[in-house]
Structure 1
């Protein structure tokens, strides 16, 4: 599975980072950085949780 970020849509709320801190983080400018794009197992579940909590639907898992 893969995490896909729609960067222009991301507003930097950080809820995804709270849901999946080992997969993504906000940098010093408040931009989301994916630490990995390919996920499986428990990480896939975390990625899905991060996508669900994004208030602007900037993340999806394919």
Structure 2
């Protein structure tokens, strides 16, 4: 599985970080960073919730 972010949509609101802080981090400039772009399948449920929490639909999971 791979986490993909659409940088044109991402506003750095941090909903993903609050749902899955071990995979997402929003810095002081409100730029979101993916900490583990290719997480294990055991994290799918948590990451699906984080992706679905994005109010601007900037995140997707592939695979």
Verify same fold: TM over 0.5. Answer: yes
Measure, in 2, the Cα distance between the counterparts of 1:10 and 1:58: 5
Q: Deviations over 1:10-39 (max 9, x none)?
A: 011111100110001101101000001102
Q: For residue 46 of structure 1, what is the aligned residue in structure 2?
A: 46
Measure, in 2, the Cα distance between the counterparts of 1:44 and 1:3: 10
Measure, in 1, the Cα distance between the counterparts of 2:37 and 2:45: 13
Q: For residue 3 of structure 1, what is the aligned residue in structure 2?
A: 3
Q: For residue 27 of structure 2, what is the aligned residue in structure 1?
A: 27
What is the aligned length? 62
| Local SS of the residue matching 1:25 | strand
Give the RMSD, CA atoms, in angstroms. 1.0
Measure, in 1, the Cα distance between the counterparts of 2:42 and 2:53: 17
Q: Which structure 1 residue ranges, 4+ long, deviate > 6 Å from structure 2?
A: none
